[in-house]
Chains A and B, each alone.
Chain A
Amino acid sequence: MEQRLEGILNNYLQNEGNVISILQDIENEFGYLPEDAISWISDRLDVPPARFYGIATFYSQFHLKPRGKHCITACTGTACHVKGSEWLISSLTSELHLLPDEDTTEDRKFTVEKVNCLGACSIAPVVVIDKEVYGKMSSDRLMKLVKKLEKKESEKEKA
Chain B
Amino acid sequence: MSTSSVEIKVCLGTSGNAAGGEEVLRLFRHYVFDRAVEARIGTRCEFRKVGCRGFCSKDVLVDVIINGSKTTYQSVKPIMVERIVDDHIVGGGPIPEWMAGDEYTSFHSKQYKIILGPCGEIDPENIDDYIRMNGYRAARKAVTKMTPDGVIDVVTQSGLRGRGGSGFSTGEKWRICRGQKNDTRYIIGNVGEVNRALAEGNPHAIIEGLLIGGYAIGAQKGYLYIRERYHLSVERLRTALDQARDKGFIGKDIFGSGFDFNIEFSFGTESFICGEETALMESIEGKRAMPRYRPPFPAEKGLWGMPTVINNAETFSNIPLIIGMGADWFSSIGTAESKGTKVFTLSGKVKNNGLVEIPMGMPLREIVYSIGGGIAGNRKLKAVQVGGPSGGIIPESMIDMGLDYESLRKVGSIVGSGGMVVFDDEDCIVSVTKFFVEFLQRESCGECTPCRIGTKRMLELLIKITDGTGEIEDLDTLNRLSGIMTASSLCGLGRTASNPFITSFNHFRDEYLAHIRDKKCPAGVCPALVVFMVVPEKCKGCGLCRKACPAGAVTGEIKKAHDINQELCIKCGACYKVCKLKAIKKQ
Contact = CB atoms under 8 A, between A and B. Distances in A.
Binding partners A and B:
yes
Interface of A: 17-21, 24, 54-55, 58-61, 77-79, 81-83, 87, 90-91, 94, 115-124, 126, 131-136, 139
A120 B18 contact: yes
Given A18-B285, A79-B345, A115-B229, A121 B419 contact: yes
Interface stretch (B32-40, B121-129, B169-177, B286-294): B286-294
A123 B18 contact: yes
Contacts of B421: 78-79, 82
Contact of B389 (A78, A82, A118, A121): A78
Interface of B: 14-15, 17-19, 54, 56-57, 59, 192-197, 228-231, 233, 267, 269-272, 283-289, 345-349, 353-355, 385, 388-389, 419, 421, 423, 427, 435-436, 439, 443, 445, 550, 572, 574
A59 B289 contact: yes
A79 B348 contact: yes
A54 B344 CA distance: 35
Interface hub of A17, A90, A116 (most chain B Cβ within 10 A) = A116
B353 A124 contact: yes
B272 A116 contact: yes
A79 to B, nearest CB: 4
B345 A20 contact: no
Interface hub of A59, A91, A126 (most chain B Cβ within 10 A) = A59
B572 A119 contact: no
B285 A122 contact: no
Nearest to A127: B18
Given A78-B419, A82-B347, A120 B269 contact: no
A78 B56 contact: no
Contacts of A133: 14-15, 17-18
Contact of A122 (B229, B231, B345): B345
19 contacts: A18-B285, A55-B287, A60-B271, A61-B269, A78-B419, A78-B435, A79-B353, A83-B348, A87-B574, A116-B272, A119-B196, A122-B54, A122-B347, A123-B18, A123-B57, A123-B59, A126-B18, A132-B18, A133-B15
A136 B60 CA distance: 13
Given A122-B354, A123-B15, A54 B229 contact: no
A18 B348 CA distance: 39
Contact of A120 (B15, B284, B388): B15
Contacts of A94: 550
B501 to A, nearest CB: 15
Given A55-B288, A135-B19, A21 B347 contact: no
Contacts, number: 130
A126 B267 CA distance: 22
Given A82-B348, A123-B59, A116 B270 contact: yes
B286 A20 contact: yes
B550 A91 contact: yes
A68 B261 CA distance: 43
Contact of B436 (A18, A78, A136, A139): A78
A37 B56 CA distance: 42
Closest 5 CB pairs of A and B: A18-B286, A119-B193, A119-B196, A79-B347, A122-B56
Nearest to B348: A82
A122 B349 CA distance: 11
A152 B348 CA distance: 35
Given A55-B287, A90-B550, A133-B17, A119 B230 contact: yes
Interface hub of A60, A123, A124, A134 (most chain B Cβ within 10 A) = A123
B445 to A, nearest CB: 8
A29 B353 CA distance: 37
Nearest to A54: B288
A89 to B, nearest CB: 12
Contacts of A135: 15, 18-19, 56, 59
Contacts of A82: 347-349, 421, 423, 427
A53 to B, nearest CB: 11
A30 B550 CA distance: 36
A61 B270 CA distance: 8
A83 B426 CA distance: 12
Interface hub of A60, A121, A133, A136 (most chain B Cβ within 10 A) = A121
Contacts of A119: 14, 192-197, 230, 233, 345
A91 B550 CA distance: 8
B288 A58 contact: yes
A123 B60 CA distance: 12
B355 A122 contact: yes
B161 to A, nearest CB: 22
Contacts of B349: 82
A122 B287 CA distance: 33
A78 B385 contact: yes
Given A79-B419, A82-B347, A82-B423, 15 more contacts: A17-B286, A18-B286, A20-B286, A24-B228, A60-B271, A78-B388, A87-B572, A116-B193, A118-B14, A119-B197, A119-B230, A121-B353, A122-B54, A122-B346, A122-B347
A121 B352 CA distance: 12
Contacts of A54: 288
B49 to A, nearest CB: 16
